[in-house]
Structure 1
Amino acid sequence: MGRNSERDREFTEFVSARRDGLVRVAALLVSGDLAKAEDVVQTALTKLYLAWPRVRPETVDAYARRCVVNVATDEHRSLFRRREQVRSQLPETPVADDPWNDNSTVVSLLGTLPASMRAAVVLRYVEGLSIAEAADAMRCSEGNVKSQSARGLQRLRELLPAGHLTNFAKG
């Protein structure tokens, strides 16, 4: 088996195992827009594939998360974001058992947070990353992660009914 086919096999196995989790993170980073989340993950996986030979196996999950955070943040900051395109047919409708419906209030409120604050909250309290892991994914200091996540949670607590935030956050 050639070197490239081994690389492709390893990458395909990684994507099969981790894609759903990356889409979940991306959806929260882009305020629950599943179509945009899919685009973010596709772009992030393309970047990961190009870097695949240089990524160490023990850091591949962190690298993939960083790619997703960077793409979601870049998408949000871009001055030349793609505009909505008019189509003659309606897009497919979402499935009834969409996992984001349970937390639709929280997901929409996450969209009110600035991108870096939203990323800190999602990575720390939804994905359960340590402060150091979140700082690495966001390419910032641990102190920044602490302050961004604390302020983000405080804003969410102010806007959410009592007890709703505890159902949303894992950690």
Structure 2
Amino acid sequence: MQASVLFVCLGNICRSPMAEAVMRHLLKEASLDAQVTVDSAGTGDWHLGHPPHEGTRQELDAHGISYEGMRARLFRAEDAAEFSYIVCMDSKNEADVKELIGAASSPQTKVFKFMDLLPERGTPDVPDPYYTGNFDYVYELVKEGCERLVERIRSDLQ
């Protein structure tokens, strides 16, 4: 059985590529990388084709996590049929994704907010470090949430 994860944020240069890179790293460590594919996308088109933001790259470098070859791309309605988990970094991204996919969503596609993985944190959204500059805090949330998502996927694959 296979699974696929798509992380979605606004510009696809900060939060969602950080989550993509961390998730790939964790899946490899868990020997699940052959069973689970991971990608990221944005709901806005300002940064299409750009690599992750410098702050994201610095944070990933500090933790020895690769982001090689990653480039910003736009979320497409067709993604709903291609991914089993669509994980939105904030409430606005989730609303935009649901509006874009409409009827294109397949019954097995799970669309949810990233912070649903961390309910004890008491915050609905992953803050956007493009505006806050707080890349280390976002990394902390992303790592913790991705660890939970790996366990959820492991369970779903059984």
TM-score computed with the length of structure 2 as normaliser:
0.26
Structure number with the higher helix fraction is 1
TM-score computed with the length of structure 1 as normaliser:
0.25
Question: Greater Rg, structure 1 or structure 2?
Answer: 1
Structure number with the higher strand fraction is 2
